[in-house]
Amino acid sequence: MNTDSREPKARRNRALIIGGSIGGLFAAHFLRRAGWDAVIFERSAGDLADRGAGLGITAELFQMMRRAGLKISRSLAFHVHSSIWLTQTGEIGCETDRGWHGSAWAIIYKPLRAAFPSDAYRTGMTLERVEQDESGVTAIFTDGRREHGDLLIAADGVYSTIRRQFLPGIEPRAAGYIAWRGLVDEKNLPEGAYDLLFDRSAFTLPEGELVVSLPVPGPENDMRPGHRRYYFIWYRPADATRRAALFTDASGRSHGLTIPPPLIRPDFIAEMKEAAKKGLPPILGEIVARAPQPLLQSITDMEAPQMVFGRVALLGDSAFLARPHVAAGATKAALDAGALADALEAAEGDIDAGLARYERERLAFGRAIVAHSRHLGAYLEAQLKPPAERNAAEMTRDPRTLIAEYGAPHLVHGVDPATLDG
Ligand SMILES: Cc1cc2nc3c(=O)[nH]c(=O)nc-3n(C[C@H](O)[C@H](O)[C@H](O)COP(=O)(O)OP(=O)(O)OC[C@H]3O[C@@H](n4cnc5c(N)ncnc54)[C@H](O)[C@@H]3O)c2cc1C
What tens digit of pLDDT does each residue of 205-256 get?
Answer: 998 899 999 988 887 778 788 898 899 999 999 999 999 999 999 999 999 8
Most confident of 109-113, 190-194, 353-357: 353-357
Q: Is the CB of 317 under 6 A from ligand 1?
A: yes
Q: How many CB atoms lie within 10 A of CB 377?
A: 23
3-state DSSP call for residue 315?
coil
- Position 310 pLDDT exceeds 70: yes
CA of 21 to the centre of ligand 1 (A): 5
CA of 180 to the centre of ligand 1 (A): 20
CA of 363 to the centre of ligand 1 (A): 20
Q: Which of 21-30, 155-164, 190-199 has the lowest mean pLDDT?
A: 190-199
pLDDT band at 296 (very low <50, low <70, confident <90, very high): very high
pLDDT band at 9 (very low <50, low <70, confident <90, very high): low
Rounded to whole angstroms, the Cα distance separating 164 from 130 reads 11
Closest atom of ligand 1 to 336 CA is: 26
Of 276, 282, 266, 188, the residue nearest 233 (C-alpha) = 276
Contact 394, 378 (CB under 8 A): yes
φ, ψ at 39 (rounded to 5°) = -125, 135
What is the helix (H) or strand (E) element at residue 337, kind and residue range? helix 329-346
Buried b / exposed e over 186-219, threshold 16 CB at 10 Å, is: beebbeebbebbeebbbbbbbebbbbbbbbbbbe
- Position 1 pLDDT exceeds 70: no
Q: Give the residue with greater pLDDT, 305 vs 197.
A: 305
Indicate which residue's Cα is closest to atom 4 of ligand 1: 52
Stated pTM of the model? 0.91
Provide CB contacts within 8 A for 218, sequence distance 6+: 185, 186, 224, 227, 228, 229
Could you tell me where the DSSP H helices lie in 123-265?
161-166, 193-197, 240-246
Rounded to whole angstroms, the Cα distance separating 147 from 69 reads 28
Of 269, 267, 216, the residue nearest 79 (C-alpha) = 216
pLDDT digits (tens, 9 = 90+) for 48-65: 776 656 778 889 999 999
